[in-house]
């Protein structure tokens, strides 16, 4: 049990999807990377589990795709909007789009994280402290000077360290990837706007039925007078079903029998009554947008700086698209010891990419509010919008490209 110091090129606080994806992207670029994750449990399976087509392209460039197929990832070729009785409104088919990977990739959230971390460990200069909480930052105008962590007494420590050690990490560049309640954000003094949506989301899980067989592995969203509900394909033959519920109804969903759950789901989409669904969890939904991302040598990524409503399945996808821009702007390992260069590159990243994310958040918020609303008039408006898009070939193509992650503000963000 001793005090040790550890210098590194890049410190990453948090190993959710944003932190683990970053460690993966950095693995073959010559940096020494230290990652600190407070939880030793798998990530929550109900969270984001579908990578957009554009993210498939990024993973391909990172040399990461084979590892995801090996972990059991599957392809989804379409998203379909239908009425509550299943009448088609809008068919967002990706398969004929002129893009390198015309499909979404889906895999359980915790397996996405594990796969990224397995790849990150290929870096010979990578150390993961887990479980260890990143709390004690020494911060100045130049960013993060150091972070001191206490290693658990009860878990094995990485080579060269022992359980119970106190380690002071001195990074050349520090990344806060510690999620919506980010301690890094607080330590660095970043201010933010936030909006709490009225209604939480309930996530339900169940097996697919033989009659659900579908070569496109379609994600179907049902819209009707009682609200909307989505049936989302899950790897290894399952469904995830998600809908917004009133806070007061959480008690009902916690105690409902299978028969009661079937009846509640059938009110939104009679077709879903056939599914044997178990409750996976309840999610209060918040938008959070920090006013800045960068201070000196420190930068925030993922939900720590831009948490959004899951209605459009964007949070994790946006994070990875930002990371792709960030890693391309980092000083190379020879230059990273120069604090001026680090700060300049991070500022270039912020000024190039943040305006695009502000637009994405505004657009996401509009959709989030519609999804949050239980007002039949709002759902009826969405139905009319989807019908109009389906009937106009140009709008339909733009919508499909946007949904795939192309031709949107992030694609055109000039980082650098």
Ligand X SMILES: Cc1cc2nc3c(=O)[nH]c(=O)nc-3n(C[C@H](O)[C@H](O)[C@H](O)COP(=O)(O)OP(=O)(O)OC[C@H]3O[C@@H](n4cnc5c(N)ncnc54)[C@H](O)[C@@H]3O)c2cc1C
- For the sheet with 201-207, list strands across it: 88-93, 78-83, 219-224, 227-234, 238-244, 201-207, 278-283
Torsion of CA 242, 246, 247, 253, to 10 degrees: -60
Interface residues toward ligand X, by CB under 6 A: 13-19, 36-39, 46-48, 50, 133-135, 177-180, 183, 201, 203, 283, 302-304, 310, 313-317, 319
DSSP-assigned beta bridge partners for residue 243: 202
The nearest distance, CB 177 to ligand X, in angstroms, is 5
Nearer to ligand X, 147 or 331 (CB): 147
Nearer to ligand X, 178 or 350 (CB): 178
Nearer to ligand X, 243 or 331 (CB): 243
- Tokens, residue 260: 């009661």
Nearer to ligand X, 79 or 223 (CB): 79
The nearest distance, CB 120 to ligand X, in angstroms, is 13
Nearer to ligand X, 289 or 331 (CB): 289
Nearer to ligand X, 281 or 352 (CB): 281
The nearest distance, CB 104 to ligand X, in angstroms, is 9
The nearest distance, CB 94 to ligand X, in angstroms, is 15
Interhelix angle 393-404/376-391, rounded to 10 degrees, is: 110
Interhelix angle 17-25/109-120, rounded to 10 degrees, is: 30
Nearer to ligand X, 118 or 387 (CB): 118
Nearer to ligand X, 143 or 233 (CB): 233
The nearest distance, CB 393 to ligand X, in angstroms, is 27
Total count of residues recorded for the chain: 416
Roughly how many angstroms between the first and final C-alpha of the chain, as a whole number?
A: 44
DSSP-assigned beta bridge partners for residue 294: 299
The nearest distance, CB 280 to ligand X, in angstroms, is 9
Q: How far is CA 152 from CA 8, 33, 222, 367, in A?
A: 21, 20, 47, 43
Q: How far is CA 341 from CA 277, 336, 348, in A?
A: 53, 7, 11
The nearest distance, CB 283 to ligand X, in angstroms, is 4
Closest CB to ligand X belongs to which residue?
Answer: 16
The nearest distance, CB 81 to ligand X, in angstroms, is 16
CA distance 213 to 220: 13
What is the three-class DSSP state of 8? strand
Is the distance from CB of 162 to CB of 129 less than 8 angstroms?
Answer: no
**What is the C-alpha radius of gyration for the chain, rounded to an integer number of angstroms?**
22
């Amino acid at each position: 049990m001793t005090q040790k110091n550890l210098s590194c090129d890049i410190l990453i606080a948090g190993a959710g999807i944003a932190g683990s994806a970053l460690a993966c992207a950095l693995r073959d670029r010559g940096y020494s990377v230290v990652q600190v994750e407070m939880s030793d449990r798998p990530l929550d399976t109900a969270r984001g589990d579908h990578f957009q087509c554009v993210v498939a392209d990024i993973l391909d460039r990172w040399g990461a795709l084979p590892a995801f197929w090996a972990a059991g990832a599957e392809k989804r070729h379409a998203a379909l909007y239908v009425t509550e009785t299943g009448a088609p409104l809008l068919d967002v088919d990706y398969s004929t789009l002129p893009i390198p990977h015309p499909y979404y990739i889906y895999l359980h959230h915790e397996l996405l994280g594990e796969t990224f971390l397995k790849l990150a460990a290929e870096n010979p200069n990578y150390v993961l402290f887990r479980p260890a909480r990143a709390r004690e930052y020494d911060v100045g105008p130049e960013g993060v000077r150091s972070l001191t962590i206490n290693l658990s007494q009860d878990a094995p420590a990485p080579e060269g360290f022992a359980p119970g050690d106190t380690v002071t990490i001195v990074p050349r560049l520090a990344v806060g990837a510690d999620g919506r309640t980010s301690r890094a954000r607080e330590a660095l003094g970043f201010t933010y706007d936030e909006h709490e949506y009225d209604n939480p989301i309930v996530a339900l899980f169940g097996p697919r039925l033989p009659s659900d067989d579908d070569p496109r592995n379609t994600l179907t969203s049902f819209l009707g007078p009682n609200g909307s509900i989505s049936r989302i394909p899950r790897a290894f033959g399952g469904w995830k079903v998600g809908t917004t519920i009133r806070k007061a109804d959480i008690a009902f969903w916690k105690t409902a029998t299978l028969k009661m759950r079937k009846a509640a789901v059938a009110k939104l989409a009679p077709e879903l009554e056939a599914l044997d669904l178990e409750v996976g969890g309840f999610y209060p939904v918040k938008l959070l947008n920090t006013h800045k991302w960068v201070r000196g040598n420190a930068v925030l990524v993922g939900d720590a700086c831009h948490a959004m409503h899951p209605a459009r399945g964007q949070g994790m996808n946006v994070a990875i698209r930002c990371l792709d821009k960030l890693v391309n702007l980092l000083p190379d390992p020879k230059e990273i010891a120069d604090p001026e260069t680090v700060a300049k590159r991070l500022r270039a990243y912020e000024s190039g990419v943040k305006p695009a994310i502000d637009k994405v958040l505004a657009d996401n918020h509009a959709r989030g509010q519609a999804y949050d609303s239980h007002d039949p008039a709002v759902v009826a408006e969405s139905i009319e919008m989807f019908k109009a898009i389906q009937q106009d070939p140009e709008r339909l193509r733009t919508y499909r490209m946007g949904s795939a992650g192309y031709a949107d503000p992030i694609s055109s963000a000039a980082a650098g």
